[in-house]
A and B are shown apart, each in its own frame.
Chain A
């Protein structure tokens, strides 16, 4: 079965510094990987995805992620953090079912704190 792991419960970074939120995956076959962000008491918002092609994927709000097949990682990055980036971030992988359907499996989430 497919799975993702987010090894850090929390990441702290100063405003203006680069940030990285880590994600590793375990899949059979080609991975479909996603990052989502959640603000308090809100639904999740899609940030970016890797399906195929370039290993560096650019997404919303200046975020990007690097797909690394040899390290089975899909870390989320931003060159310069903003206080408004403080939120809960989820890595996810698409799992293909025997029935031909799809479901998305989420990591436990990483809380990002950006200090002014």
Chain B
């Protein structure tokens, strides 16, 4: 089955540590996205990528980094510079198609800082 796989589903981190969240898709989609979800705030865009080896900052990119070395993969690193990293992180992909394509989401990764 085609889809998006995020791992790990749950992750605990000590303050000062970097962590990397994995996102893999086999939908052959060009565009991939990372969103952060906090209660009552909806989804906020962290980074997005429309083509391999290229990515753009979203609205809350500070303290995060990404790479897009393969079309299928778009890992997100939460660095120690992120002041409040505890959140639910969602990866998504879409076809570009002039912006009309809907987003396909993974099941999310819940990061808790101890």
Interface residues of A (CB under 8 A from B): 9, 32, 34, 36, 41-46, 49, 51, 90, 94, 96-97, 99, 101-109
CB of A110 to closest CB in B, whole Å: 10
Cross-chain contact B102 with A49 (CB below 8 angstroms): yes
Most A CB contacts (10 A, CB to CB) among B6, B43, B58, B108 go to B43
Identify A41's interface contact among B41, B92, B105, B110, CB under 8 A. B110
- A36 CA / B102 CA spacing, docked (Å): 9
Cross-chain contact B33 with A43 (CB below 8 angstroms): no
Known: A41-B108, A90-B43, A108-B40. A103 touches B58 (CB 8 A): yes
Identify B107's interface contact among A42, A94, A102, CB under 8 A. A42
- A53 CA / B88 CA spacing, docked (Å): 36
Cross-chain contact A32 with B33 (CB below 8 angstroms): no
Q: List the count of A-B residue pairs having beta carbons below 8 Å apart.
A: 65
Cross-chain contact A43 with B42 (CB below 8 angstroms): no
Cβ of B100 < 8 Å from any Cβ of A? yes
Interface residues of B (CB under 8 A from A): 4, 6, 31, 33, 35, 40-43, 45, 48, 50, 56, 58, 88, 90, 92, 94, 96, 99-100, 102-108, 110
CB of A40 to closest CB in B, whole Å: 11
Identify A44's interface contact among B40, B45, B50, B90, CB under 8 A. B90
- A44 CA / B106 CA spacing, docked (Å): 8
Cross-chain contact A90 with B58 (CB below 8 angstroms): no
CB of A84 to closest CB in B, whole Å: 19
For B35, what are the chain A residues with a Cβ–Cβ distance below 8 Å? 106
A99's nearest neighbour on chain B, judged by CB, is B56
Identify B104's interface contact among A41, A46, A49, A96, CB under 8 A. A46
- A48 CA / B113 CA spacing, docked (Å): 35
Cross-chain contact B56 with A97 (CB below 8 angstroms): yes
- A-B CB contact pairs (8 Å), 24 listed: A36-B105, A41-B88, A41-B108, A42-B107, A43-B4, A43-B6, A43-B90, A43-B105, A43-B106, A44-B43, A44-B103, A46-B102, A46-B104, A49-B100, A101-B31, A101-B48, A102-B94, A102-B96, A104-B33, A104-B45, A105-B45, A106-B35, A108-B40, A108-B42
